[in-house]
A and B are shown apart, each in its own frame.
Chain A
Amino acid sequence: MIRTVDVRVDYDDVTAVKGLSFEVGAGEVFGLIGPNGSGKTSTIKVLATLLEPTYGEVYVGGHDTATHAADARAILGYMPDLAPVHDDLTCFEFLDQFAGAYGLPRTDRRRRVDEALDLVQLSAKRKAMAGTLSRGMTQRLVLAKTLLHRPAVMLLDEPASGLDPIARIELRDLLRRLADEGATILVSSHILTELSGFCTSVGIMEKGVMTHCGRIEALSAALEDHRQIVIELLEPADTYVNDFAELEHVSGTDAHGNIVTLRFTGQNGDAAALLKTLVEKGLPVCGFYERKRGIEDLMLKSGAREVS
């Protein structure tokens, strides 16, 4: 649904984005992560047809944004960072203007606006002036605007900035459900916990360059040469460290309290054999699992700086 080919964005002497090429398939949730100033917002603005790249090709839903921007816009939903609203309109009026601007039939507009308000749980604020909403509610209102015309592609720039932790979780759940319904979502953030367990693939940007891109599992495999096996014991782990070091496929150990973390280079069958060996040796094992790597690990592994 989204494809960029060698995109470059210059602002005077600064090159904000350089050589950007990536693809996001239909129904994917793509996390665009990177430190502040890494080129995330410029990338999203280019995808949203709001910024003309210095050069490069951008396709949204198969439409070339350079030549068919209007077609691309019809299937795009865009939520900017620190999303503003018209303070002098009620929530309903705010959404209704965009329902009209997107060409929703007059007979459907009210229903669709009410649906969108329901979806973001703002029905109670239907008649409230948008300028009186809290930060979190404002974000929800703009999200409702973004969803109003049922976009096939959603571009969300730091959607959770300014939200409290509960609101972030709610937002994440909502986006996950939208993705389940078939929407393609590209979401940027420099707060990694926002994206953990939510994105199906990620792109890591630093200094305007996408250093890594792909599905999280594939990236993990590419960036790591070992797995982390965590073993919980009933007794202090220090006394057993030497036993672990001698095991097959184990290249290192790290013991803290009753927990030992192994650098493990084997496959799943090897892990099962490892567990069997530990039990046969009589070690008091009460827990055995692999630590899955999150986006934080990916980003740190990729070498990106200024991680929040």
Chain B
Amino acid sequence: MNEPAAIPPLTAETPTTLDPVRPVGAGHMVPWFDVWRNPIAQRCRRARLRGRHLLIYGVLGFTVIGFVFLVTYLWPVYQLDRPRTDAAKAALFPMLLIQGVVLMGMGTMALATGIARERDRDLLDYQRMTPLSPTTKILGYLFGLPSREYFLFALTVPFVLYAAWVAELSWLRLGKYYAVFFSAVCVYHMTGLCAGMVSRKPWQSAVVSVGMVVVLYLVLPQLSYVGLWVFEYLTIYPTFFTLIAEVIQAQGGPRFPGRVLRMYDDVRFFNWTVNPLWFSLLLQGGMLLTLFTVVRRKWIDAGWHSFSKPFGLLFVVGVHVLLVGTLWSTLSEGVWLRRVASQMSVHAPGVFGWLMGLYVGVSAAALLFVTFLITPDRHTALRGHRRARKAGRSVVPAAWDAAPALRWVVGSVVVVVLGYAALIAVARGNDRLFQGAMEWRWIAAPMFVLVPTVLLFHGLAERLKARFVLLALFGLWVFPIMVGVIVAIVSRDHLPVLYLGSPSPAMAGVLSLVAMTFHTGLPDRPWDDEFEREVLAHVPAIQAIFVVLTSALALFVQINRARWSRRWRAGPENLVATGDVPEPTKHPNE
């Protein structure tokens, strides 16, 4: 083994070749759209696609992919005496599957772990310091980190092209499929990048990345089977089943359940019919924009909130346009009911309750999520107050991260209530769905549960540290139900669960939806007296307990929060005196 070359020491005679100090490079920046010459993408390609990598991955990948292709292509030809066109269709499906696994699965993981590793080692700071635009840097990582996966994808392309040629698959159809495929890949990869940027530790990024991918692209699409079909268009499934599966099945390829194929015939959004291809691109574009916004903000400053306040409101509006548009067609025309009619054997009013429950559940999740993202914690708020005072402002500007989020949360709540009202109005116009009396107090009940819940959450999030918020919400929303369950077991009575759990929005919300379904939707009384006596009769009282208790707490927390802000505006010394701000300086050395 050779000795490493000696490094000559620096001496006074070492020639300095620096020109007079001056910045260089202006006018030679790579434009953001030139991904190939992007320095970050180039660096990633160099690191991940060295000759030895190409050799190992090339040989192994090509062999495995070739083996799978040949087996699936040659088996029908030589064992089943099928024509080559049918065999090619059979071979196409596994190739597309491999492409999905490589780019969507492995590529997403490569992005999440790669970016988290760079961030953890402070290597991102080097890139933050360069004068490239944030967009250029994000695109560099987006297309650079999964370069090995793109190489593996490239190995499958000859097989796909050959199979499509032999199978006489329309090139236009294949092109449309890949348009959505790459759009979905970008969304998945941006998800990985986002997970890597928001996670605190590299190992967390892998978990968060997998969690985000599973939730966004596996769990949420499952909601299509219970009414929220819109989320399925975040994935490649609708495009695959619309453009590819039907054709290759019809011409002798693998068989797919007819029900699945029928699901993607058209997209009814509000009362419009939208091409599934364009709907997929639209939805994935929205998702991409959201994730890009998060990554860009985190790139500019890791301490910024993931969403700005205006974007948070915009996000809530976007989610609710999708929600209302999806449920609108079902409530007005029963589109979704026709699709899954064989799956459901429930009363139409039950479906109404179920769909409204979906709306309330998804809305609540979106509201709490956005509230969490845009609400400044106590320290961020304090920084904002200090900065605003220094700038001579009496209040923190509303759009700053450090500004109180109340008005934005209230705006989001208004969006949710408007969406809910719109759906109720649509449902009233559908005689087949809504045959019963419209009792407004039952209709409005879920909103009376949702609004104070969100306001309480916001107040706590702005006044307490995250761990104390979690503790407070556990104590208020989960612990009472647990106590109720124990008491109910001991007392052999279910009422303790209902009443002790009444401070929980989960309990009050579910009971409100159940009561709404039974009191407003059904023309007759399909339930027995015992159910009414033992559950429904208690719902008004439980709702009242929840609304009074949660509203009082929300009011208390909001007043406390407002007083704190007012005291600060009156002068920081007031808060110092009460120990409400960390002055005088507490220092690590002390």
Task: List chain A positions with a Cβ less than 8 A from chain B.
Answer: 6, 8, 10, 12-15, 18, 35, 37-38, 48-52, 54-56, 70, 73-76, 78, 80, 84-86, 88-89, 93, 96-106, 108, 115, 118-122, 124-125, 137, 145, 147, 149-152, 166, 170-171, 173-174, 177-178, 181-183, 207-208, 305-306
Contact = CB atoms under 8 A, between A and B. Distances in A.
Interface residues of B, number: 61
Given A12-B582, A124-B6, 12 more contacts: A13-B586, A48-B129, A49-B129, A84-B121, A103-B27, A104-B24, A105-B28, A121-B9, A122-B7, A150-B24, A151-B23, A170-B11
A-B complex: 3 closest residue pairs judged by Cβ atoms: A103-B25, A100-B39, A170-B10
Interface stretch (B338-346, B378-386, B429-437): B378-386
Contact of B43 (A12, A73, A89, A125): A89
A150 B19 contact: yes
A137 B16 CA distance: 18
17 contacts: A14-B588, A15-B585, A15-B587, A48-B125, A50-B128, A70-B131, A78-B125, A97-B39, A101-B39, A104-B25, A105-B28, A121-B9, A145-B126, A149-B23, A170-B11, A171-B10, A178-B21
Contacts of A8: 386
Interface string B55-95: 00000000000000000000000000000000000000000
A37 B589 contact: yes
B18 interface: yes
A70 B122 CA distance: 19
B586 A14 contact: yes
A277 B37 CA distance: 76
A128 to B, nearest CB: 8
A104 B29 CA distance: 8
Given A86-B43, A181-B21, A76 B129 contact: yes
Nearest to A39: B587
A295 B14 CA distance: 28
Contacts of A149: 23-25
Contacts of B40: 97, 101
Interface in B20-36: 20-30
A96 B390 CA distance: 42
Nearest to A183: B21
A125 B7 contact: yes
B130 interface: yes
B5 interface: yes
B566 interface: no
Interface of B: 5-12, 14-30, 37, 39-40, 42-43, 46-48, 121-123, 125-132, 301, 303, 379, 382-383, 386-387, 390-391, 582-583, 585-590
B130 A54 contact: no
A52 B589 contact: no
B125 A50 contact: yes
A5 to B, nearest CB: 10
Contact of A102 (B18, B25, B301, B587): B25
Nearest to A10: B383
A41 to B, nearest CB: 11
Nearest to B465: A12
Given A93-B46, A152-B22, A124 B7 contact: yes
Contact of B130 (A52, A98, A119, A171): A98
Nearest to A108: B24
B514 to A, nearest CB: 44
Residue among B121, B127, B132, B383 with the highest chain A CB neighbour number at 10 A:
B383
Contacts of B126: 78, 98, 145
Contacts of A97: 39-40, 42-43
A122 B19 CA distance: 19
B28 to A, nearest CB: 4
Contact of A74 (B9, B26, B382): B26
Contacts of B132: 101
A35 B589 contact: yes
A102 B131 contact: yes
B582 A150 contact: no
Contacts of B390: 6, 55-56
